[in-house]
Chain A
Amino acid sequence: MSDPFAISTSEEPFETNPAISLDDVAVSLGGHTILDGLSVDVDSGTFVGLIGPNGAGKTTLLRTLNGALSPDRGTVHVAGEDVHTLSSKAASRLVATVPQTTQVSFDFPVREVVRMGRTPHRGRFDGWSDADEQAVDAAMERTTVTDLAERSVTEVSGGERQRVLIARAIAQETPVLLLDEPTASLDINHQVRTLELVSDLVGDGTTAVAAIHDLNLAAHYCDALVLLSEGRVLAAGDPTAVLTESNLKSAFDAEAVVSRHPVTGSVYVTALPTPSDDASGRVHVVGGGGTGARALHVLSAAGYALSAGALNEGDTDAEAARRVGADLVTVPPYAPVDDAAQSAVESRVEAADVTVVADVEIGDGNLANLEAALAAEYLVLVEERSFSERNYAGDDGRAIYERLKARARVVEPSELLSVVGEFACESFGDSTNSEDAASDGDPTAEVEGAAAESNGSTAESNGSVIESNDSTAKPSGPAQSNHS
């Protein structure tokens, strides 16, 4: 056995007779090694989530577990029996599989599809027994598809079809249930209902193994997770132990933040955009109350080194700044920005090539941030609302903001990235006359707002890995310099 992962506390899996036991399983398809020496034990009555990037071997593992694929080496035991020495019929009395719902083109009635789940229990010339009928009725009731019984399986919705296939698997009356991406192509309501159903079945003693793409759903519903990567088990066990930032980095090659979900308390994974090397430069962001988070994400995705502050501890923007690894100046919760913090911010503003002031509400407590921003060489003000709407610092606030505005470029959120890129290049190319360049104010360069906008929203909405395609890296500096 090569590094066995036991999803149980037991030291000797074979004595406690786990529901599923894989020992050094290797599978290759078409000459490619898909599974490369997997050893996993799954305890009876647990719900195990199989996670991992596309191509990690999740589906292959499921097909090996149900006997559809034979391993090149190693063994798969289910309920103590080697499934690959069993007949298909005998194996199908141990393992039921819910396939990914794909388009079905045969119009069997729903009830007939569920009845097919009884196939492994019937001889070729056996009639339909009462036990068969009861198993089908119970399975359909359990999955609430009884009302659909006479409908054609081609006519029901995707969520209903998923439940029909689960009913078929339940009617199979097996100790082990495998599900391949049971939540793929379902809306969020049906995803939750499906997993709740599987959890219930597990509560009744079934052992379930499901390949699940959504890490957060997996973390919430599964008793244990198996993280596959390149045909191997990278980690297995409790979701908190498996879903670590370093594991996710090595399996998915993705930057992610793992926290606790505020409502469910489950481990919660947020993927972040992978920083690209397209842009270079240092940007300081003045924000607060969530107004700077978007700028931080977008600029981080574009590859800038970031600093932020000063922010109160616990502020949304402070969280965001930590996630993107920004150099953060903080003050205690509800405390105003004191002199020490102000000078810390000033030093960061001076170090930065560009300073961005977000559409933040200004009061006496954070007015110091604006004063500090006056030290910036290149200044960008993001305005969604006019300043008067968000000024709670009276005349002082307006006076400082007017001074900032006089030497800043005022932009829409969508223009931020391209303008910062422009400034960063100027700052990089010619820092001596940079103040004038900025104070000229007239936006003369083409602003590729749309590109930056779409980048920004992608980065925020689902955190997928994106490549920045903005114009920041283009040397637009020389074209601008004749303005000064």
Chain B
Amino acid sequence: MNVRTRATTWALGLSVLLAFVVVVSAGIGHVSIPPRTVARILLDALSVPVGVSLGGGMSLPLVGTVPTPSLSFASPFHFSVPDTARIIVLSVRLPRILLASLVGFALATAGVVMQGFFRNPMADPSIIGVSSGAAVGAVATIALSLSVPFGLHGAAFASAVITAFVVYLLATENGRTPVATLLLAGVAVQTFLGAVISFLLLQAGESLRQVVFWLMGHLAGATWDEVALLALVLPIPVGILLAYARDLNVLLLGEDDAQSLGIEVERTKRLLLATASVVTAAAVSVSGVIGFVGLVVPHMLRLVVGPDHRVLLPASALAGASFLVVTDTIARNGAAEIPVGVVTAALGAPFFLYLLRTREVHSP
């Protein structure tokens, strides 16, 4: 099938790109390690079950992003590599790189869905307040030194999902959720939550620096636990979104048309919104607010592969993963470590403006 072939081709190509980016990125840092060595270390590591939670069984497009040291792939590579290099790559750099790729993957996926859903080129994963919600949860936990179950991540994730749900409820009347109302409700709630965050910052005291760091989006200090968490949470919602790619296409025609073509519009909208919000919340709760990935990457890919979500969705997801690995590599190799959110915004905003001025950004 034509579309299926295109989707597979793009997914494979971008998976190869991602693998390449991961290997190169893992070699870059204070200690420079040649890509060949990195590759050997990674191949070696394949035989080591790093953690049970990283088991395989994920849907196809995910293979590229999660290096799934699954037992079935266990092969007895025994390259001789310096132990220091092995430790640097596996314990220090790889968790951060993989987390970056998972977060980028999630944000780009959610971005595609939100832009298609809202039929609005300015839509991003946080458009209904997910990021602001996560920020409130995280900032409150840090600033007020709360102790919550599942810690900072749990608080951020919970408040993000609750915020999305509240926005949805505010915009829904008689079982219908007009996207324009949803958009405005999202803006209003984000503004309100912005005020809450500002207030909490005033209360932060000594933890202010930590709070600001979280807010800017960060991947420093990533742990294998965080990687495992995302790798476990993402497959199901992303799989659902991929299964609804055709419905997203039809929704682009407008809701009345979609209804007349047999889409249960309100139910589909509800499901897409909830799923995309969970994907965003999962990413944001581990990495903080990283802007522009979910906005710019889908636009770039739409220019390249077209509006068909069956191709666009997996392609954007994989490209988003590569994009965030690259930007985070830049972020951690500057004169001083800077939050990756600053780099994505610094690169993404001018690029987006360039697209805007050359009129290449259309509504999805």
B-binding residues in A (CB < 8 A)? 63, 66-68, 87-93, 95-97, 99, 102, 104-108, 112-113, 116-117, 119-120, 124-125, 127-128, 168, 172
Output the least CB separation between A86 and chain B (Å): 10
A107 partner, pick from B243, B254, B261, B307, beta carbons under 8 A:
B307
Output the least CB separation between A441 and chain B (Å): 64
Q: Within 8 Å of chain A (Cβ to Cβ): is B92?
A: no
A63 touches B256 (CB 8 A): yes
B1 touches A127 (CB 8 A): yes
Cα A87 to Cα B266 in complex, Å, equals 12
Cα A117 to Cα B263 in complex, Å, equals 11
- Which residue of chain A lies nearest to B175 when distances are taken between CB atoms in the complex? A70
Cα A113 to Cα B364 in complex, Å, equals 15
B259 partner, pick from A68, A105, A108, A127, beta carbons under 8 A:
A68
Interface residues on B, range: 20 to 34
A125 touches B243 (CB 8 A): yes
A-binding residues in B (CB < 8 A)? 1, 119, 243, 246, 249-250, 252-254, 256-257, 259-265, 306-308, 362-364
Known: A108-B249, A116-B253. A172 touches B307 (CB 8 A): no
List 10 contacting pairs A-B, 8 Å CB cutoff, sorted by A.
A63-B256, A68-B260, A88-B259, A92-B260, A97-B256, A97-B260, A105-B362, A112-B249, A116-B249, A116-B261
A67: chain B residues at CB < 8 Å are 259-260
Known: A92-B260, A112-B308. A128 touches B1 (CB 8 A): yes
B243: chain A residues at CB < 8 Å are 124-125
A99 partner, pick from B254, B262, B308, B363, beta carbons under 8 A:
B254
Known: A63-B256, A99-B254. A88 touches B308 (CB 8 A): no
B262 touches A93 (CB 8 A): yes
Cα A95 to Cα B261 in complex, Å, equals 9
- Which residue of chain A lies nearest to B256 when distances are taken between CB atoms in the complex? A68
A88 touches B256 (CB 8 A): no
A88 touches B263 (CB 8 A): yes
A66 touches B307 (CB 8 A): no
- Which residue of chain A lies nearest to B2 when distances are taken between CB atoms in the complex? A128
Cα A377 to Cα B250 in complex, Å, equals 73
Cα A97 to Cα B253 in complex, Å, equals 13
- Which residue of chain B lies nearest to A120 when distances are taken between CB atoms in the complex? B262
B257: chain A residues at CB < 8 Å are 97, 99
Known: A119-B246, A125-B243, A128-B1. A105 touches B119 (CB 8 A): yes
Known: A105-B363, A107-B362. A91 touches B306 (CB 8 A): no
Output the least CB separation between A405 and chain B (Å): 65
A119 touches B119 (CB 8 A): no
Known: A105-B362, A107-B362, A127-B1. A119 touches B307 (CB 8 A): no
A168: chain B residues at CB < 8 Å are 261
A124: chain B residues at CB < 8 Å are 243, 246
- Which residue of chain A lies nearest to B249 when distances are taken between CB atoms in the complex? A116
A105: chain B residues at CB < 8 Å are 119, 362-364
Q: Which 10 A-B pairs have the closest CB atoms?
A: A120-B262, A92-B262, A97-B260, A105-B363, A89-B262, A119-B261, A88-B264, A106-B252, A68-B259, A106-B307
A66 touches B260 (CB 8 A): yes
- Which residue of chain B lies nearest to A107 when distances are taken between CB atoms in the complex? B307
B254: chain A residues at CB < 8 Å are 99, 102
A95 touches B260 (CB 8 A): yes
Given contacts A108-B249, A116-B253, 4 further A-B contacts (CB under 8 A): A106-B363, A119-B262, A120-B262, A127-B1
B119: chain A residues at CB < 8 Å are 105
B249: chain A residues at CB < 8 Å are 108, 112, 116
A104: chain B residues at CB < 8 Å are 253
- Which residue of chain B lies nearest to A93 when distances are taken between CB atoms in the complex? B262
A66 touches B259 (CB 8 A): yes
Known: A106-B363, A107-B362, A112-B308. A119 touches B252 (CB 8 A): no
Known: A88-B265, A99-B254, A119-B246. A106 touches B364 (CB 8 A): yes
Output the least CB separation between A155 and chain B (Å): 12
- Which residue of chain B lies nearest to A125 when distances are taken between CB atoms in the complex? B243
Output the least CB separation between B109 and chain A (Å): 18
Output the least CB separation between B304 and chain A (Å): 13
B256 touches A92 (CB 8 A): no
Output the least CB separation between A317 and chain B (Å): 49
Output the least CB separation between A238 and chain B (Å): 29
